[in-house]
C-alpha cells in the first residue's frame, strides 16, 4: 500500500482522528521542518501528517521551509503527498465552500528557496514539470469528493502568490486574464519539490473566500475562519475516503 503524507494548511494544523504512534522531530540538510512529522493511523491506514505552518500556526507562507518539510516527509517514508490548501475563488463557479482539485498552476512567488538542485551540481538537473500534479492521485481525490457529495471542480489553475498580504483587485484581474481559477500562497515551491523527490503530489483546495474584487464586500478574516471551520470537516472526510480506497 502507498504510504501517504498529508500536509495540512490553514485550518488543519492538526489532524483530528489521527491515532498518533510517533512524532518525529527531524533535522534535514535544509534546516528544521515547520513541525514534527506525526506518524499514526487514520481511516485504517498508516499516514504521516505535517502542519505546513506549524502547530500552532506560526509560519507565514513566504517563511515556510518548504524544502525541509518535503525532505522530512520523504525521510520518514512518505511515497505520496495529499496537500490541503485554503484558497480564494477567482472563477465565479468556485465560491466559498467549494472544492477544487487543480490540474495546473502558475507560480508568481519570488525569493523562496524553490529547488534542491541549486548548488555543486554535476550535472545540472531539470525536472519535467509539464503536469505539476500526479494524475492518479488527482483522480483519487476526485472519486472521494464524488462519494462525499461535495461541490467541487475536477480541474482548475492554481495561482500561487507571495503573501502574506491578500491580493489587490487589479492583481486578481490579472490572474483571471492569465487563466487562473483559484489563488493561494503555498502551492509553490511545494509541488515542484515533491516532483524533485519523486513523490506523487496532488492538492485538495478549499475555497474560503471570494478573491479580491469578486464580491461587493471586503474580505473578512472572520468569514474566512468560519469557512475554514466548516470546510475542514469535509476535508478530513475526503482524505479518509482516499485512504480507505487505496
pLDDT for the residue numbered 49:
97
| Cα separation, 90 vs 11, whole angstroms | 20
pLDDT for the residue numbered 67:
97
Decide if pLDDT at 122 tops 70.
no
| pLDDT band, very low/low/confident/very high, at 112 (cuts 50, 70, 90) | very high
Section 111-133 average pLDDT: 86
**Ranges of each domain in the chain:** 4-245
Mean residue pLDDT across the chain: 94
Decide if pLDDT at 166 tops 80.
yes
pLDDT for the residue numbered 13:
84
| Cα separation, 215 vs 25, whole angstroms | 43
Section 210-235 average pLDDT: 91
| Cα separation, 67 vs 116, whole angstroms | 7
Residue closest to 40 by CA, chosen among 75, 15, 67, 66? 15
pLDDT for the residue numbered 121:
64
| Grid cell locating 14 | 492538526
| Cα separation, 61 vs 132, whole angstroms | 19
Q: What is the DSSP string of 10-73?
A: TT-SS-TT-EEEEEE---BTTB--SSPEEEEEETTEEEEEEETTTTTT---GGG--HHHHHHHH
| Cα separation, 235 vs 233, whole angstroms | 5
Q: Which residues make up each annotated binding site for phosphate?
A: 10, 52-53, 186
pLDDT for the residue numbered 14:
87
Q: Specify the residue for cell string 464580491.
A: 215
Tell me the three state secondary structure of residue 163: coil
| Cα separation, 81 vs 211, whole angstroms | 26
Q: Which residues make up each annotated binding site for substrate?
A: 185, 209-211
Q: Which residues make up each annotated binding site?
A: 10, 52-53, 185-186, 209-211
pLDDT for the residue numbered 1:
79
Section 136-146 average pLDDT: 98
| Cα separation, 36 vs 55, whole angstroms | 9
Section 180-184 average pLDDT: 98
**Residue percentage of the chain with pLDDT more than 90:** 85
**Residue percentage of the chain with pLDDT more than 70:** 99
More confident position, 177 or 215: 177
Decide if pLDDT at 245 tops 90.
no
Predicted confidence (pLDDT) per residue in 53-88, tens digit: 998 888 999 999 999 999 999 999 999 999 999 999
Decide if pLDDT at 50 tops 90.
yes
Answer yes or no: CATH 3.30.2290.10 is held by domain 4-245. Answer: no
- How many CB atoms neighbour CB 246 within 10 A? 13
Burial-class residue 105 by CB neighbours within 10 Å (0-12, 13-18, 19+): buried
pLDDT for the residue numbered 117:
85
State the pTM of this model. 0.94
pLDDT for the residue numbered 219:
83
Amino acid at each position: 500500500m502507498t504510504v501517504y503524507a498529508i500536509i495540512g494548511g490553514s485550518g488543519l494544523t492538526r489532524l483530528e482522528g489521527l491515532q498518533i504512534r510517533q512524532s518525529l522531530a527531524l533535522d534535514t540538510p535544509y534546516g528544521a521542518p515547520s513541525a514534527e512529522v506525526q506518524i499514526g493511523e487514520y481511516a485504517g491506514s498508516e499516514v504521516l501528517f505535517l502542519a505546513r505552518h506549524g502547530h500552532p500556526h506560526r509560519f507565514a507562507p513566504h517563511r515556510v521551509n518548504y524544502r525541509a518539510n518535503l525532505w522530512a516527509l520523504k525521510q520518514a517514508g512518505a511515497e505520496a503527498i495529499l496537500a490541503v490548501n485554503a484558497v480564494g475563488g477567482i472563477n465565479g463557479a468556485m465560491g466559498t465552500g467549494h472544492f477544487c482539485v487543480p490540474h495546473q498552476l502558475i507560480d508568481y512567488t519570488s525569493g523562496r528557496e524553490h529547488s534542491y538542485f541549486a548548488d555543486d551540481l554535476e550535472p545540472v538537473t531539470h525536472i519535467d514539470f509539464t503536469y505539476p500534479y500526479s494524475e492518479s492521485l488527482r483522480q483519487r481525490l476526485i472519486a472521494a469528493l464524488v462519494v462525499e457529495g461535495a461541490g467541487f471542480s475536477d480541474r482548475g489553475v492554481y495561482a500561487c502568490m507571495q503573501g502574506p498580504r491578500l491580493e489587490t483587485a487589479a492583481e486578481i484581474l490579472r490572474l483571471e486574464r492569465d487563466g487562473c481559477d483559484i489563488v493561494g500562497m503555498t502551492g509553490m515551491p511545494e509541488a515542484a519539490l515533491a516532483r524533485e523527490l519523486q513523490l506523487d503530489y496532488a492538492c485538495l483546495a478549499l475555497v474560503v473566500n471570494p478573491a479580491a474584487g469578486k464580491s461587493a464586500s471586503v474580505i473578512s478574516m472572520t468569514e474566512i475562519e468560519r469557512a475554514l471551520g466548516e470546510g475542514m470537516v469535509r476535508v478530513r472526510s475526503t482524505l479518509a475516503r482516499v485512504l480507505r480506497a487505496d
